[in-house]
Structure 1
Amino acid sequence: MPVLFSALLPPDDVVEAVAEAVGEQADGLRWEPPERWHVTLAYYGHDDVETRGDWLAARLAGRAAVDVRLEKAATFPGVLWLTVAGSELTPLAHAAGADAEARPYVGHLTLARFPREEPGRAGRYTKRLAHFASRGWTATEVVLMTSEREPGGPRYRVARAFELDRA
């Protein structure tokens, strides 16, 4: 069974704006390529795509589209990320299953990883992106993603997409 998670995918122009704001990808960080950038809603681990997809479809039925925007950089231990602003993001993540996790949901887009014991390594980028804000967009779709290990890093694929109400 593949590893599954649900996510929002930023529009291409937002991805381009983030890549431009990041600039040179250096300082020994392991950068996520832009084609893997996403906002995780919930992580499911190894699961059956059809079963999880049906479960997610029921949980998301009737949910409204959400307005989101990527903002300033921050770090978790070993992770450089962008904050995701949008008041309805957390309720959407909880509907997608984030409420089952032990830690509180924090909407973010992972940019890079670094050794946990070197928290200062991402400092150049947290400063560079301290005032970053993408344009806002309305997320009208949640995707169920598969993650498969490959030599160059994980490969993400959209297994199913779920429309959110635009009204």
Structure 2
Amino acid sequence: MPALFSALVPPDDVVEAVAEALGDPGEGLRWEPPERWHVTLAYYGPDDVGTRAAWLAERLAGRPAVDVRLEKAATFPGVLWLTVAGPDLTPLALAAGAGAEARPYVPHLTLARFPREEPGLAGRWEEGLSTFTSRSWKATEAVLMTSEREPGGTRYRVARAFGLSG
């Protein structure tokens, strides 16, 4: 049974702007490939796709589209990420189940991972992306994604999309 999570996927031009800002990231960090970039709304763990999709469809029904923008870099222990700005994002995440997690919801887009005991590895990236700001976009759909370990890494797949009203 795959692990599931709900997310917003940035549009292609925003992904391209982030990739351009990174340039050639080089060695030292384990970079997430652009095709995996997303803003998690809620993580569910291993679950049945059909059951979770029905649950999520009910929770997201009638929810408005949200304005989103990626901004400066920050870190969690072992994670380099971009800040996500959007005043309506937290209510959407809570509706999707984010409140069920033990830690507070912090909207972000993971760029790379690094050993927790070497926080300095991300320092130059955090500083270099301190002025980054993407264009704003209106997220008109949320997706339910599967996360499955495969040879060579983890693969994400969109299992179902849920429209958010414009």
**How far 1:48 sits from its partner (Å)?**
0.3
Partner of 2:97: 97
Matched, 1:64 2:64: yes
Which segments of structure 1 move beyond 2 Å, counting only runs of 4 or more?
Answer: none
Partner of 1:74: 74
Partner of 1:135: 135
- What runs of 5+ residues in structure 2 fail to find an aligned partner? none
Report the identity percentage. 80
- TM-score, with normalisation over the residues of structure 1? 0.98
**How far 1:153 sits from its partner (Å)?**
1.5
- What runs of 5+ residues in structure 1 fail to find an aligned partner? none
Partner of 1:22: 22
**How far 1:27 sits from its partner (Å)?**
4.1
Native 8 Å contact 1:7 1:144 kept in 2? yes
Task: Kindly report the root-mean-square deviation, in angstroms, between the aligned alpha carbons of the 2 structures.
Answer: 0.6
Partner of 2:157: 157
Helix, strand or coil at the partner of 2:150: coil
Matched, 1:109 2:113: no
CA distance in 2, matches of 1:151, 1:126: 30
CA distance in 2, matches of 1:114, 1:152: 18
CA distance in 1, matches of 2:122, 2:150: 25
**How far 1:152 sits from its partner (Å)?**
2.1
AA of the residue aligned to 1:93 = A
Partner of 1:145: 145
- TM-score, with normalisation over the residues of structure 2? 0.99
For residues 32-51 of structure 1, the aligned pairs below 5 Å read 32-51=32-51
- The aligned length equals 166
CA distance in 2, matches of 1:87, 1:25: 31
